Amino acid sequence: MMEMVIALITAFMMISGALFALIAAIGINRFPDLYTRMHAASKAGTIGSGLLLLAVGIHSADISIFARTIAGFFFFILTAPLSAHLLARAAHIAGYKLCDLSVTDELKKTES
What's the pLDDT tens digit per position in 51-102? 999 999 999 989 999 999 999 999 988 898 889 889 888 888 887 787 777 6
Q: Which of 23, 37, 26, 47 is nearest to 88 (CA)?
A: 37
Range of the domain at 70: 2-111
Neighbours of 92 (CB within 10 A): 19
Per the structure, the count of domains in the chain is: 1
Q: How far apart are CA 86 and CA 62, in angstroms?
A: 36
The confidence band for 107, taking pLDDT boundaries of 50, 70 and 90, is low
Q: Collect all residues with Cβ–Cβ distance below 8 Å to 62 and sequence separation of at least 6.
A: none
Q: Tell me if 44 sits within 8 A of 21, measured CB to CB.
A: yes
What's the pLDDT tens digit per position in 9-19? 999 999 999 99
